[in-house]
Amino acid sequence: MSIPLAECCPSLRTVLDEEQAETLATRFRALADPARLRLLSLLISAGGEACACSLVEPVGRSQPTVSHHLRVLHEANLVERERRGSWVWYWVVPERLEELREALAAAGGERPRGGYPAEQRAVGQAPRRRRRQEREAELVRQT
């Protein structure tokens, strides 16, 4: 039995199209490394921008490794860069971080504090809980 999306998922705000999903996946992959998260944090705390050379020591990685991680962040459009003489300066793109925050908020929805109502559990909204309850009921019947 197919249930219309609006009926079973009233709190669903948006559904990503293929391009949006790919863009978000690329950005989340870029953030899936502790060194890159640290670099992003350092750029934010540095007043918005920093020279790549000044990020090597705080991250505790070699210059080529830091450059690689910055390139990944740049390719994911999370940071911008500019060559100034022989140095490359990086800064965070706040709009991209806001897009990620909004995507996470939309994906999380508004889950009720007490869990999902019984009718939503029945249509698969909380299948793990339902399966666990069924297993527990079966164990009780067996004893």
Instruction: Find the CATH number of the domain harbouring 83.
Output: 1.10.10.10
133 within some domain: yes
Provide the domain count of the chain.
2
129/127 Cα distance (integer angstroms)? 5
Residue numbers of the domain that contains 28? 15-110
Query: What is the tens place of the pLDDT at every residue in 6-35?
Result: 555 555 555 778 888 899 899 999 999 999
User: Do residues 84 and 33 both lie within one domain?
Assistant: yes
89/79 Cα distance (integer angstroms)? 10
140 within some domain: yes
User: Do residues 122 and 102 both lie within one domain?
Assistant: no
Whether this model's pTM surpasses 0.85: no
111 pLDDT band (50/70/90 cuts)?
Answer: low
2/123 Cα distance (integer angstroms)? 9
Of 51, 84, 97, the residue nearest 70 (C-alpha): 51
52 pLDDT band (50/70/90 cuts)?
Answer: very high
Q: How many alpha carbons lie under 13 Å from residue 74 in its C-beta half-sphere? A: 14
